[in-house]
Structures are given as structure tokens and as C-alpha cells.
Amino acid sequence: MTSPLGARIVAFLGIAALAFLVLPLLIVVPMSFSSARSLSFPPPGFSLRWYEGFFGDPRWMEALWTSLSLAFISSILAVVLGGLAAYGLRRGTFRGRDVQEGNFMAPLIVPTIIAAVAMYLGFAKANLLGTFAGLVLAHTVLSVPPVMMVLGVAIRSFDVRIEQVGWSLGGSWFYTARTVLLPNIAPSLFAAWIFAFIGSFDEVIVTSFIAGTYETIPKKMFNELILEVNPTITAVATLLMAFTILALGISAWMLRRAGKLRETLL
Amino acid sequence: MAAILAERRHGFGFVTPLLVVMLAAFNLPILYMLALGFWSKQGGFTTEHYAALFDAPIYLRVLANTLRISVVATLVNVAIGYPLAYWMRGLSPRAQFIAVACVITPFWISILVRTYAWIVVLGNNGMVNRLLQWTGLTDAPVSFLYNELGVMIGMANVLLPFLVLPLFAAMLRIDDRLMQAAASMGAPPRTIFLKVFLPLTMPALASGALLVFILCLGFYVTPAILGGGKVPMISNLLDFLINQIPRWEQASAVSTILLVVTLLIFAAYRALDRKVGA
């Protein structure tokens, strides 16, 4: 349906658009090994000084520890609570399921800056500002939408009659869930956990508003980027990218094995 | 009777734990924020915080700024995203998989990293300026950063996957035989694209553009970093009203307006999205 010339123009535009998406990220990687303080391209020489700067700085290490523990706890909470809720929404018959689901997905639609303002005001009232518990609560809520999306697909496509067989053989709900449902949706469960973990680990807006004196990697990175550009950030950015791509690759592989990659993504 | 009641509530117990957390950490804070915008310092209902917004020209200027940047960033997104999705549709399955991976991976990479990448690329000693000077197009470095241009480039880049992925999915659903039928009737490629393909993708394009526009309105990180404090958008104003000069009531009023506008546009998006799905 396209003329040869048209096809060439489209191919050029398409490749240019992909380059626009990917190229800036790829340039960060060699820059992180630069020996120079300035961000001049191409880098004049190879060095690991910015990685040493990151791993040798106790403030970055403390931020890393906060980020990791926060992401770990909130992603597990999001998977447990979000998984149970997704199960109730798919299998339940109670009224108002649409409204409930809409509410759980709301953090995806409500601009994050508004969630940040609202949580700041609400948490100030509840004395949760600057507490780890407040951060965990906020991150859990923000991580629920991707969990519900992935697990909603998984639970819907698992035939309820297989569970019913388990119940009819005298298995309790928990026993059936543990031995029948969970093994079957394990890849999706893992992918949901990864998505929630990445989401929490990268969260910057709400965290900046409510964290108080707690530093996380994104919060510290954001604050440094606003003040001045320090090449240590280039090393942090490269590490973050490597971590994200690795985690995504694993979850894509698991979803693909379960045959749900396409359904979950598009 | 009890059985019917139990049936009606069946499954509600699974939802309850999340509902409690959601109410405490999301719903109640939002309601509190909405109330605060109408709460007078002396106690009681007031609309003075909203009236104050219209009295100060700074608020209207930030609003105009936000709308302008959002519209331009959305249009840039459409101009880049449509050809990309169209090109991806014609690729072999294997190439399609790689292209989709190239679109999705940035989507999951921290927005800070993606914004920072533009500082590296667009800076005075960055790759783009080196290239421009090397080819002799300019003598002095062009300032891309810390102005509106940088903010628009960054936002268009960060939001592109939100447009491309649903658009590509919608394009995949279009039956090739429709275009073949038009071709067999003697329509030239241009006419087939304009009269058959483009109209079929319009609902998906419009809903994707609305989604990008909503996200632009509340954008915070990219304008804050690439704008260097010189390109204030609504979200940066909110940061100022909360973290710099505590004016909580004012911040609540601004947030409420932004929330209402966002939800209205989202309703339009949902209506369009249903049409795409049908």
C-alpha cells in the first residue's frame, strides 16, 4: 500500500524515531567511563573514577540501602494485597467491582504530582511525613496498578473450574491457592513483583515530597541534577539502566514462557 | 436471604486489605486536599483560595506556559510516533519484536536517567553541539538546555512510548485485505493511506494523544531538570507552594483544578478508547 519512495521515507522516519528513543540512553554508558569531569563528547579517556565515587560515598550507599529496602518491602506488599484484590475482582460477584478496580488503578491516572501534594498534606496530618512507614504506604499504593494489570490477565486466563476441582476434593481455599493457582500463575507473579520493584525503586516525585530526611537513589539524583551536574550521576544512571534491563529481560522471559507476554504488553 | 447476601458479597474479603491501605494512603489524602482548598483559615467554607489564583497573574502565566508546552510536546509526539508505529507495522515479526523492545525498554527506565541523558547529549560540549560545530552549521554552541526547547525535547522523548504502543497495537488489528481491496479498485497508495488506513487509526491516535497530553499537564521531573527553573509548569509551581513557601490552601486549589481537568480529559480518552476496542 506504500510506493517504493514512500516506503523508504517511512523506514527513515521510523529508524530516526527509534534512534531518538534509544540513542541518548546509549550515549550515557560510555560517558560513565569517562576520565573527564566535564560531559564532553567523546570522552577523552577511560576510567572507573565515577563508579568508585558512587560506591565509595557513604551517602550514596545509604540512599541505595533505603531504596532497596523500600522497594523490597513495598513491592511485596503490593503483590500480596494487589494479588488478593485482583483475585477478588476476577472471581468475586460482589457489587461495585468496576468502581473498586477504577479506584485501585487511579494512581496511574491521577498525575503523580497531585498524589504527591495530597499525600504530603494527608501524611502531615497523620504524622507520617518523613517516616519509613509513610514511604512504604505510598510506594505500595503507587505500585498496585501494574501488579493488578499483570495478575488480572493471569487470573482471568486460569480456568476457575480447575480451582473448583481442588475445593470439591476437600482442599481449603488456601491449600488450593497454594498448590493449584499459585504454581500456575508463578511467572506472572514474578513479573508483577519485578514491575512493582522497579516502579518503587525509580519513584522520585512522591518520595521527594514525603521522604523528609530519608534519601533514596532517585531523590538524591534529582536533587543533584537540579543543583549541578556531577559525572557520578552518569555512573548511577548506567547502573540503573543495567539493572532495569536485566530485570525486564528476566520478567519478559518468564511471561513469554507462560505465553502471556503479548497479552500483558499490548 | 442470607445466602443471597453472601452471594452478593462473595469475594469482597479479598479486596478489603488493599481497600483499607488505599483509603488510608490515597483516597483520604486526596479528599483532605480537596477540602483544604475550600477551608478558610478562620474556619468554614470559602472560595477565596480559588479567587486568589485568578487575581495573581503569575498563576495564569504558569497555566498558559503549561498548556503551550503540553500542546507542542503532544504534537511532536504525534509527528514522531505515527510514522514509527506505521513503519513497525510493516516489519517482519522478528524485527517487530526488536522494535517493540526498543520502545518498551525506555518506558521502564527511570525518567531521571532518560532526562539526564538529554543533558549529556544536548549540553554545550555534548554530542549534538559537537556535531553541529564540526559540520560548520554553527560557530558557537546552541543552547538546548535550560529553556523551553530542552523541556519540549525531553518531554516528547519520555512520553513517546505512551503514544506508540497503543497506536501500534491498533494498527496491527487493521485487516490488510481492506487496503488490498482498495488497491484492486485502482486506488493509488496515497489515496489508500489517506482514505482507508488513516481514518481507521484516527481513534487510536486521538486517544493516545489525549493520554500524552494528560501526562504532559502534570509533568514534573523533566521540566524541573531540563528547564533549569526557567520554565515553570503547574507541577513546579505546586512544588514551590508546598516545599518553598508553605501555602497549602493555594496548593490544594491548584491541584484540584489540575485534577478536575485531568479527569475530564481522561473521560474523553476512555470514550475514545472504547471505540478503538470495539
Chain B residues near residue A115 by CB distance under 8 angstroms:
26, 30
Among 1.10.3720.10, 3.30.465.10, 1.10.1370.40, 3.40.630.30, name the CATH number for the domain at A57-265. 1.10.3720.10
Q: What are the 10-residue block averages of pLDDT along chain A, 266 residues in total? A: 78 94 90 81 83 93 97 97 94 88 92 96 95 97 94 88 87 86 89 94 95 94 85 90 90 80 65
Tell me the pTM. Answer: 0.90
Kindly determine whether residue A115 and residue B224, on different chains, have CB atoms separated by under 8 Å: no
Angle between helices A182-202 and A58-91 (to 10 degrees): 140
Q: How far is CA B194 from CA B199, B200, B220, in A?
A: 7, 10, 37
The answer, yes or no, to whether residue B2 has pLDDT greater than 80, is no
How many Cα atoms sit within 13 Å of B65 on the Cβ side?
Answer: 22
How many Cα atoms sit within 13 Å of A48 on the Cβ side?
Answer: 4
Q: Any idea of the CA torsion for A90, A91, A93, A94, to the nearest 10 degrees?
A: -70
- Rounded distance, CA B274 to CA B278, Å? 6
B224-228 mean pLDDT: 89
Written as nine digits, the cell of B128 is 549534538
Give pLDDT, residue B277: 64
The answer, yes or no, to whether residue B253 has pLDDT greater than 90, is yes
B160-211 pLDDT, tens digit per residue, is: 999 999 999 999 999 889 888 988 998 888 888 888 899 999 988 998 999 9
- Rounded distance, CA A55 to CA A49, Å? 10
Q: How many CB atoms lie within 10 A of CB B99?
A: 22
User: A160 and chain B: CB distance < 8 Å anywhere?
Assistant: no
Question: What is the value of ipTM here, to two decimals?
Answer: 0.88
B17-41 pLDDT, tens digit per residue, is: 999 999 999 999 999 999 999 988 7
Give pLDDT, residue B8: 55
Give pLDDT, residue B5: 47
For chain B, which domains are there?
Answer: 65-277 (1.10.3720.10)
Give pLDDT, residue B278: 58
Written as nine digits, the cell of B91 is 516489519
In the structure, what pLDDT confidence band is assigned to residue B7 with cuts at 50, 70 and 90?
A: low
User: B29 and chain A: CB distance < 8 Å anywhere?
Assistant: yes
User: B161 and chain A: CB distance < 8 Å anywhere?
Assistant: yes
In the structure, what pLDDT confidence band is assigned to residue B85 with cuts at 50, 70 and 90?
A: very high
Q: How many CB atoms lie within 10 A of CB B68?
A: 13
H helix and E strand count, chain A: 13, 0
Kindly determine whether residue A112 and residue B113, on different chains, have CB atoms separated by under 8 Å: no
Per-domain boundaries in chain A: 57-265
